[in-house]
């Protein structure tokens, strides 16, 4: 038994020395197999266990296990040392193959609403309109009062409003999140003299329940043209041209009376349904027409308020929702898809 104990101790010492002096991972592996492999030296010693007296077997067995674990530990540590290559060697090994094709960077794309706003503005720019933008946090004066909607006027119910807390609003005057882009009509006319031809895209906010056709935050595009001798025929011609440019040259348009306090007369404009060609279908709710915007001749009271002489100047204005236009153009049934952040939807608009 003592002989076997000595053999084991010698074997451990030899194995450890050999492990430490192995030059690389291959040599290390050979050493491991030499001592711990199926036909290795430790295994050979263990095979002799059954020949020992029964009372000696546990002691020698335990010692053999200790030797095995000690050798395995050293092998693992040495292997780790081989795998951690010093910095200089990494540089020497790592080479860049400049002839490999590049990796294509992930490109973003414009949101479908942004795309449609750009198309709408593009059509009007070609007709001589300039693009302007304005504040989304607005005074009550511009959003309502100057547009012929004084306090307590029932027309205020047409626009459910997010009001700014009076404690934070400046100068004690009522402020709000603009409910439409029409306040920009006033701001622009206050700052310029006719002729005016502008198009104003921008975000609007309404305290409304969200459903398939309404969001509480949405976009509008406002248009305004003021000059001498502008008539309703100019309004019709401009908007008809716009509809044909955006929806196709065969489009028909229909104007019907509508009410907005800041225009007189006021209208809404529809195009004939491009899906059923006016015959009636699910998209146009069997009417043959799709409503796309509100419009009208600028009210003389509004012109007078900004210092334009209503006897000399006249103009037309209109406001449309690009999301509505995109829904019609692409047959999208629910406005909530646009801001639902589902890439499967958004990727359809390259
Ligand atoms: C207006 O806001 C008027 N300022 C338009 C106008 C301008 C009339 C100039 C006359 C002269 P209306 O509330 O209908 O009108 O809104 C215009 C468009 O904005 C609607 O046709 C619709 O496309 C869009 N819109 C309105 N509310 C929402 C909403 N909650 N979510 C999404 N789009 C909306």
For the chain, give every domain's residue range: 2-94, 112-346
| Cα–Cα distance list, 201 to 157, 213, 263, 305, 322 (Å) | 23, 19, 19, 24, 9
> Are 142 and 246 a contacting pair, CB within 8 Å?
no
> Are 264 and 296 a contacting pair, CB within 8 Å?
yes
Q: Rounded to 5 degrees, what are φ and ψ at 318?
A: -150, 160
Coil vs helix vs strand at 290:
strand
**Residue in 180, 174, 186 with CA at minimum distance from that of residue 204:** 180
Closest ligand 1 atom to Cα of 210: 30
Coil vs helix vs strand at 105:
coil
**Residue in 130, 147, 125, 309 with CA at minimum distance from that of residue 228:** 309
CA–CA distance, 297 with 169 (Å, rounded to integer): 33
Residue whose CA is closest, atom 26 of ligand 1?
A: 321
Q: In a mutational test of the pocket of ligand 1, which residue from 255, 261, 324 has the highest number of ligand atoms less than 8 Å from its CB? A: 324
Closest ligand 1 atom to Cα of 179: 2
Q: Which residues are CB-contacts of 40 (< 8 A; sequence separation ≥ 6)? A: 33, 34
Mean pLDDT by 10 residues, the chain (350 residues): 77 84 84 86 80 80 85 84 70 77 87 96 97 96 94 82 79 88 98 97 94 90 98 96 89 92 95 79 80 95 97 97 88 89 90
**How far, in Å, from the CA of 230 to the mean position of ligand 1?**
23
CA–CA distance, 134 with 187 (Å, rounded to integer): 8
- Which pLDDT value is given to residue 29? 86
- Ligand 1 pocket, residue 308 CB under 6 Å: no
**How far, in Å, from the CA of 145 to the mean position of ligand 1?**
18
**How far, in Å, from the CA of 90 to the mean position of ligand 1?**
64
> Are 93 and 193 a contacting pair, CB within 8 Å?
no
Active site residues: 159, 180, 206, 220, 263, 317
**CATH topology assigned to domain 112-346:** BirA Bifunctional Protein; domain 2 (3.30.930)
* pTM, two decimal places: 0.71
- Which pLDDT value is given to residue 85? 61
């Amino acid at each position: 038994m003592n002989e076997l104990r000595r053999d084991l101790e010698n074997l451990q010492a030899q194995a450890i020395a050999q492990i430490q002096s192995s030059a690389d991972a291959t040599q290390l592996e050979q050493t491991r197999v030499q001592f711990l492999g199926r036909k290795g030296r430790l295994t050979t010693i263990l095979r002799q266990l059954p020949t020992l007296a029964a009372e000696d077997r546990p002691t020698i067995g335990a010692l053999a296990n200790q030797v095995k674990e000690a050798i395995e530990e050293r092998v693992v540590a040495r292997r780790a040392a081989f795998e951690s290559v010093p910095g200089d060697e990494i540089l020497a090994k790592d080479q860049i193959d400049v002839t490999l094709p590049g990796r294509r960077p992930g490109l973003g794309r414009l949101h479908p609403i942004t795309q449609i706003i750009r198309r709408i503005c593009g059509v009007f720019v070609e007709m001589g309109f300039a693009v302007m933008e304005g504040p989304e946090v607005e005074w009550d004066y511009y959003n309502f009062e100057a547009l012929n909607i004084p306090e307590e006027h029932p027309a205020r119910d047409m626009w459910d409003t997010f009001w700014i807390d009076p404690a934070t609003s400046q100068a004690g005057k009522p402020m709000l999140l603009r409910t439409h882009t029409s306040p920009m009509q006033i701001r622009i006319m206050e700052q310029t003299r006719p002729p005016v031809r502008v198009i104003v895209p921008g975000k609007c906010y309404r305290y409304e329940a969200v459903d398939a056709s309404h969001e509480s935050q949405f976009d509008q595009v406002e248009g305004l043209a003021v000059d001498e001798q502008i008539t309703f025929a100019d309004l019709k011609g401009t908007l008809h041209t716009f509809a044909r440019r955006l929806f196709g040259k065969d489009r028909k348009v229909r104007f019907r009376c509508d009410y907005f306090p800041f225009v007189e007369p006021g209208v809404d404009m529809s195009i004939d349904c491009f899906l059923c060609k006016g015959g009636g279908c699910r998209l146009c709710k069997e009417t043959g027409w799709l409503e796309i915007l509100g419009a009208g001749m600028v009210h003389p009271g509004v012109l007078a308020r900004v210092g334009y002489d209503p006897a000399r100047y006249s103009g037309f204005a209109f406001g449309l929702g690009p999301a509505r236009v995109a829904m019609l153009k692409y047959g999208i049934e629910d406005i909530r898809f646009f801001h639902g952040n589902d890439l499967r939807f958004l990727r359809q608009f390259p």
